[in-house]
Structure 1
Amino acid sequence: MMGPPYPYPSRPTRLSCSSTATHSNASDPSRRNIHRKENQFIYRNGSKLHAYDREKVPYPSSFDRDVIELQSLDNAILLDSTGKSTYIDFEARPKPTRCLDIGTGLGLWVISAAKLWPEATFVGLDMVNIQIPLQVLEQDIAERIEWVHTNILRNKLPFDDDEFDHVHINGIALGIPENKWYPLYEEIRRVMKPGATIEHIEEDAIFPSLPRWYTDPLRAHSRGLSTSGSVQARLSYSASSATSHLRHEHELLETLYDDVWSTRFINAYPTSILPGYFGAFFERVLSPPVVQYMSPPFAPFAPLQGTRDSKIPPLPRAITPHPNGTTTTIPQGNGSPRAATFTNGSLTTSPSSTLRVSTEDVAKCGLSPCPSVSSLPHEELDERAPSQKDPEAASMLSNTSQAGSYSSGSTSSKSAKRPSVMLLASPEEGTSLGGDSAADIFPVEKVQAQDEQTKYMHLYRTVTWVLSTKEAMWDELLARVQARDETLRKFGWKDEDYNEQASRARFEYAIDQYQSDMRGRISLWNCAVQNGWELPFRDPPTQAEVGEEMQLRHEILEAQKQSDTGALEPPVRKIRILIGSKES
């Protein structure tokens, strides 16, 4: 439902050329009932999806709570990095008085901007009604906000010509077919006043993966503990010898994820294509190179010791290389966590992962010594990563091409030297518009100064987005199964698997495995401990479980030592900021 009647003085309902536009202050009850919130969603296998036809709205992500809450994370990071709701410097120009937010989602940007510009009115536009109810906002904020619903791919924007002096867009590109950008930007320009500004922020569809040295030991132990002939053992196709040639454990899901975009004619890399479209419709365009948020380091192993009452020393410490080639140990937290082992899933499928730990640290935690990745050579410095010795180089544009940066390698002293965020200036992805003034738009130094745990939240955001397209990925797999696509045999399909039921079981297993593996990679327990929380309590592990876990950790560390530690992990997010204006 649209909620209780709007409690503040109503504005005249805008006449719209769109039969699907809805307004929070619409007075026609029958019109409101047609567009009740529950009628805009369908549920498939636990995912909450929009109810539009795929041809009309190709947006593939779900509207589950954990997905839409990502908007809160993005908004918080923007406010923390800029101190305001925009990358535009409105100190040197008149502040906007009438603003449009396209793809408003929860409406968080609108609410933040309404607090920043108390004289302005706002319209938040989206295809579904998931916005924060105006009734829960302060009156002086709510009375300046309006939520509008329409399908921007099929309908003209339900606004007058020259109505807005600022337009904000964030995160709609992965729902826009590439052939729709020209008509969409044309409509946006129509509703902008002469002199109005526009700010458009988009990011690429990245599929985070894990290196083989991490996942192969997990799968080996999983097979060893599986009961003979069990369903899980049969579905462990990813660890079988037939799939050992795959680039990484979750290549099937990555392939389906790519198909989600290509079959919808959506470019999965809007950071590379939008400058051309944007520059064709707006003037005074500024756009820094693509912003890259780098992969976080692997977290330390969680302590294995037994009960909440036992005193557990601080977590193992990360070894950080200095520019001169020496290493020092830096404590990973301020306190001494006291709790039992925390792992998401079984001990054998989700270890907390593998930041460098020393034999001494392991011994202090009461664990059996095992080979330490800190023994890996540190003298080879990666020329592709800006040195910490030169802060300016870390903040400036990297002249490195991304070719060769996307293999699934391990974290090492080389990747440890990478800054948390970089501005990319490769010919393929680093198009910069506006010269030096464009590079100043993004506060690189301030973002680099953010807490290290922020890196894990960026990874969490990207992984959650991937999982939000689960049902869209299933549609792509089902199409392959029905076409008896022979390429599925690469992923372990047999003749008896070319049916919907068997393929769905395989798909669910692959999703669960990816979710479990990435949960271990993200290691939110580690972020919590760094911020003063205690590890969740669980029953002490048995001696057999401790032995199994120690063996697994030993194998992971050994595999990491033997891997190609020179390979860099790809960024977990790549973001493009575009700023322009309508001059006449």
Structure 2
Amino acid sequence: MGPPYPHPSRPTRLSCSSTATHSNSSDPSRRNIHRKENQFLYRNSSKLHAYDREKAPYPSSFDSQVVELQSLDNAVLLESKGRSSYVDFEGKPNPTRCLDIGTGLGLWVISTAKLWPEATFVGLDMVNMQIPLQVLEQEIAERIEWVHSNILRNKLPFEDEEFDHVHINGIALGVPENKWYPLYEEIRRVMKPGATIEHIEEDAIFPSLPRWYTDPLRARSRSLSTTGSVPARISYNGSSTTSNHRHEHELLEMLYEDVWSTRFINAHPTSILPGYFGAFFSRVLSPPVVQYQSPPFAPFAPLMPIRDTTIPPLPRAISHPSNGAESSIPLRNGSPPSSPRTETFSNGGSLRTSPSSTLRLSPEEVAKCDSSPSSSVTSLPHIDAPEVPPSPPRDPEAVSMLSTTSQAGSYSSGSTSSKSAKRPSVMLEGTSLGGEQVIDIFPVEKVQSQDEQTKYMHLYRTVTWVLSTKEAMWDELLVHVQAKDEILKKFGWTEEDYNEQASRARFECAIDQYQSDMRGRIALWNCALHNGWELPFPDPLTRAEVDEGIQLRREILEAQRLADNGDIEPPVRKIRILIGSKGS
């Protein structure tokens, strides 16, 4: 028999949207709660749209943490351009009738309505989830209309040549590739001659962690389980046969790719859309694909205050923000990093911490911190953190207490590879359309100046999107299980596991593990400290727990050193911007 199913199965539950339809609210048919746009299904705590998969293959959930990503995207546009459109209307009148396809919460419509006071707006989406108009200022609300329709099955519910500007952002991962021609044809129909269109899309990327980071974590977990220190957990990757996988979460990556391929959705719209777009619109402008690079690995989370004060704290590194501004991070239950902090010890020594520098300790220096059972906090060796010059020499013998340096060019902090030189946070890839005119569309220099914490935000966004397709990934796994696909044995499946309950248990563990690992990679605690928050500490650790934490960190650093090959981490986001117009 397979392992017990830890999550009681729950039937799919139907729920009606709490947000009323706002356009033509006097029409009873638009307020009918039985319309598809007003309904959501709940499966294993995921909020999904109520359309059949064949009619609307959009796989993402509508959970609050997923919907809130739209706020991040809208903020990035407003911050990078200083306006709500990539189209430059300088010297020209602003549009007067605008359509936003895939409007979601309606944030682009609302923010643009504030900037273009003469324009009216229609936000179109297949589900009723928009911000209620009654909470907006009357002058804004009276120029906005929410309309609901499935654009893959229905013609756009508008007159010919009705709009002089169309905005589209983030619909490609719900559109099968054979639907782009009829969709663009419909969009062109409702555009006035000379109307402009902007379309922003990004690829489906699956962020992962290198094995040098996850293998020590798993080895430590298995060791504790066998000794009885922690309860054993069901794990989809418990078999030693998974050690040759590219990364720990290869099963989920396979299922994530299946989500798109079985829906005939191209997971890389940045590469295919220029061809479709150019077939229907003229004066096409598109800069190269914008790549947001992976953030550096954050420092290890600080070890909490311990009950046995004879155990010294483990020194740790502080990463420096990209803007070079000096600030401070508390070493223990400290104050917000408003100014550089000096930690004073009873022997008169001090440790000045600043994110503009990185403390680099050899294994021998680390060992000094806990070599003696009778050592105290005052025995911590004095370490000054001098300012790091623009291009410091790399010491191959030094081991950073970061999993990697804040120079995110390499997986390894100890690498001497030329690839480890500081790279920009944003890179451009591929070809552009429109010649020199595309240079000003995406303000690379301004985006480059974003601080390090913004890079973690982009990683968080991508990871949250992956997790939003959880139920779609489960559907793909269930197909493999029902077909008794041999490929699952690669991930530890036995004959007893080819049933829904056992497979769901393994799947939930895989999801939980991925979420936990990526939460550590994102290191929200590090971002919070940089922004003035105090780190909430639980109960103090015991000496054994501190020893365990120190040993785990050593193992990760050693695994990193041995695995270093100078590889560059893949980008966490790849975005394509397309701008065009309808010919006269």
TM-score, with length taken from structure 1? 0.81
| Residues 529-538 or 177-186, more deviating | 529-538
Are 1:207 and 1:466, in contact at CA under 8 Å, matched by a contact in 2?
Answer: yes
1:532 match? 532
**Residues 38 and 314 (structure 1), Cα distance of their counterparts in 2 relative to 1, 3 Å cut:** farther
Cα distance in 2 between the residues matched to 1:289 and 1:436: 12
Q: What letter is aligned with 1:422?
A: M
Cα distance in 2 between the residues matched to 1:366 and 1:38: 63
Matched, 1:575 2:580: no
**Residues 331 and 555 (structure 1), Cα distance of their counterparts in 2 relative to 1, 3 Å cut:** farther
2:422 match? 417
TM superposition shift of 1:335: 4.2
Cα distance in 2 between the residues matched to 1:475 and 1:225: 33
Are 2:304 and 2:537, in contact at CA under 8 Å, matched by a contact in 1?
Answer: no
**Residues 364 and 492 (structure 1), Cα distance of their counterparts in 2 relative to 1, 3 Å cut:** closer
RMSD: 3.3
Which ranges of 4 or more aligned residues in structure 1 deviate by more than 3 Å? 1-5, 34-39, 227-234, 310-315, 318-321, 329-333, 360-370, 373-378, 408-416
Structural mapping, 1:273-312, within 5 Å? 273-306=272-305
Cα distance in 1 between the residues matched to 2:300 and 2:369: 11
Q: What letter is aligned with 1:542?
A: T
Larger radius of gyration: 2
TM superposition shift of 1:38: 8.6
Cα distance in 2 between the residues matched to 1:333 and 1:53: 52
1:344 match? none
Are 1:211 and 1:248, in contact at CA under 8 Å, matched by a contact in 2?
Answer: yes
Cα distance in 2 between the residues matched to 1:258 and 1:235: 24
Matched, 1:440 2:440: yes
Cα distance in 1 between the residues matched to 2:423 and 2:291: 11
Which of 324, 328, 334 lines up with 1:334 in the alignment?
328
2:318 match? 317
* Structure 2, gaps ≥5 residues long: 1-15, 335-356, 372-379, 381-392, 399-406
TM superposition shift of 1:461: 0.2
The Cα offsets for residues 259-298 of structure 1, whole Å up to 9 and x where unpaired, read as: 0000000000000000000000000000000000000000
Structural mapping, 1:494-513, within 5 Å? 494-513=494-513
Are 2:181 and 2:276, in contact at CA under 8 Å, matched by a contact in 1?
Answer: yes
1:476 match? 476
Cα distance in 2 between the residues matched to 1:62 and 1:578: 26
Equivalent position SS for 1:569? coil
**Residues 190 and 464 (structure 1), Cα distance of their counterparts in 2 relative to 1, 3 Å cut:** same
Structural mapping, 1:41-190, within 5 Å? 41-190=40-189
**Residues 154 and 467 (structure 1), Cα distance of their counterparts in 2 relative to 1, 3 Å cut:** same
The Cα offsets for residues 385-433 of structure 1, whole Å up to 9 and x where unpaired, read as: xxx9xxxxxxxxxxxxxxxx9xx95465734511100111xxxxx1310
Equivalent position SS for 2:32? helix
Are 1:211 and 1:410, in contact at CA under 8 Å, matched by a contact in 2?
Answer: no
Matched, 1:262 2:261: yes
Are 1:289 and 1:439, in contact at CA under 8 Å, matched by a contact in 2?
Answer: no
2:225 match? 226
Q: What letter is aligned with 1:526?
A: N
1:352 match? none
The Cα offsets for residues 67-119 of structure 1, whole Å up to 9 and x where unpaired, read as: 00000011111111111111111113221000000000000000110011011
1:358 match? 360
Q: What letter is aligned with 1:318?
A: S
TM superposition shift of 1:233: 3.9
Equivalent position SS for 1:235? coil
1:395 match? none
Are 1:124 and 1:146, in contact at CA under 8 Å, matched by a contact in 2?
Answer: yes
1:514 match? 514
Cα distance in 2 between the residues matched to 1:172 and 1:415: 36
TM-score, with length taken from structure 2? 0.81
Cα distance in 2 between the residues matched to 1:96 and 1:319: 44
Equivalent position SS for 1:226? helix
**Residues 3 and 499 (structure 1), Cα distance of their counterparts in 2 relative to 1, 3 Å cut:** closer
Cα distance in 2 between the residues matched to 1:4 and 1:241: 50
Are 1:204 and 1:574, in contact at CA under 8 Å, matched by a contact in 2?
Answer: yes
Q: What letter is aligned with 1:463?
A: V
* Structure 1, gaps ≥5 residues long: 6-21, 322-328, 341-354, 379-387, 389-404, 425-429
| Percent identity for Structure 1 against Structure 2 | 76
The Cα offsets for residues 236-275 of structure 1, whole Å up to 9 and x where unpaired, read as: 3425321101110000000000000000000000000000
Cα distance in 2 between the residues matched to 1:500 and 1:149: 36
Cα distance in 2 between the residues matched to 1:3 and 1:505: 32
Equivalent position SS for 1:238? coil
Are 1:204 and 1:575, in contact at CA under 8 Å, matched by a contact in 2?
Answer: yes
